[in-house]
Structure 1
């Protein structure tokens, strides 16, 4: 059952993670699109899309990160960072664009509220989803991660991230879309 005050946060449904030719392709990305669309229909105006953007700063560990993943060191306006077509009509709200893996922060809090109930879907389970879930839970949010609405960098990494997030119960719970919609 979806709580009436919950927000669906669709994390990084962008071309760079969906394109099979991208080094960052989440192999099961396409499988999540139908789940995300089905869930979004139940959240009305409480759907928020996020995008990861590289930004212009390369401070601290980000320098080594962009050295390793130089293909992603592009201007924020590069089309690889666009939302995939299936995500573009899920909400009228503008996307929340940030330069960090975790999406929880002042910008997201300003939209959803301080102690919101977040329902997370998106990519990659083992990067941006887990980073968002743990930071939001640490801030006092209730977090529900929809396993079949997320895709990892591999099936093994997806499963590992879900297992880690499951350790944070009851602040973070991992469910399937079927569980949530029942």
Structure 2
């Protein structure tokens, strides 16, 4: 496959809140977040200047359906600049000098991300959680006519089964979405 010169890498929500399972109920289980580190790092370096990072932040204040959602997760209803929503240390080092798009929605596709990638029509995705922010971003981008590749080994889910379910769901949208791995992208 290889990396087309007009494709951008979008790194979804590699944040402390999803990585640090000693305090966060939202963290990927059993250190699975960190099993994606090498693939993510290789992709981020290979795409050079064509990388955008995203962050999930809680809506402030929560409105509509988010009110009920955060009744189950009140510990995460904090301001966007709370350290729990910081990129992990390793991710932040690679993100230096790159655009960072923060959104209070699971899906990160929208005008701000489209602008950050300069209107490109091809993206590759990696990050967390496969079964939440990655799948919702992939589907919305594909709906907008963007060709999406998902690097499965550079994504982690809320558990291994949900990770696979999300990959299988995205695969249903071929050829708009292609589920692949970092080795194939880096060929």
Identify the TM-score tier after normalising by the shorter chain: over 0.9
Q: Which runs of 5+ in 2 are unaligned?
A: none
Following superposition, the deviation at residue 89 of structure 1 comes to: 2.1
**3-state SS of 1:102 partner:** coil
Which of 127, 150, 174 aligns to 1:122? It is: 127
Query: What is the CA–CA distance in structure 2 between the aligned matches of 1:20 and 1:159, rounded to whole Å?
Result: 21
Match of 1:177 in 2: 182
Q: TM-score, normalised by structure 1?
A: 0.97
Following superposition, the deviation at residue 114 of structure 1 comes to: 3.8
**3-state SS of 2:106 partner:** coil
**3-state SS of 1:90 partner:** helix
| Matches for 1:21-32 after TM superposition, within 5 Å | 21=22, 22-27=24-29, 28-32=32-36
Following superposition, the deviation at residue 115 of structure 1 comes to: 5.1
Which of 135, 150, 153 aligns to 2:155? It is: 150
Query: What is the CA–CA distance in structure 2 between the aligned matches of 1:26 and 1:67, rounded to whole Å?
Result: 21
> What is the CA RMSD across the aligned residues, in angstroms?
1.0
| Matches for 1:61-72 after TM superposition, within 5 Å | 61-72=65-76
Say whether residues 1:6 and 2:7 are aligned partners.
yes
1:47–1:90: 8 Å Cα contact kept in structure 2? no
Q: TM-score, normalised by structure 2?
A: 0.94
Q: Which runs of 5+ in 1 are unaligned?
A: none
Query: What is the CA–CA distance in structure 1 between the aligned matches of 2:99 and 2:124, rounded to whole Å?
Result: 18
Residues 62-92 of structure 1: CA distance to partner in whole angstroms, max 9, x if unpaired? 0011111111111211111000011112231
Say whether residues 1:159 and 2:155 are aligned partners.
no
Moved beyond 3 Å, runs of 4+:
none
Relative to structure 2, which stretch is displaced further, 87-96 or 166-175?
87-96
Match of 1:40 in 2: 44
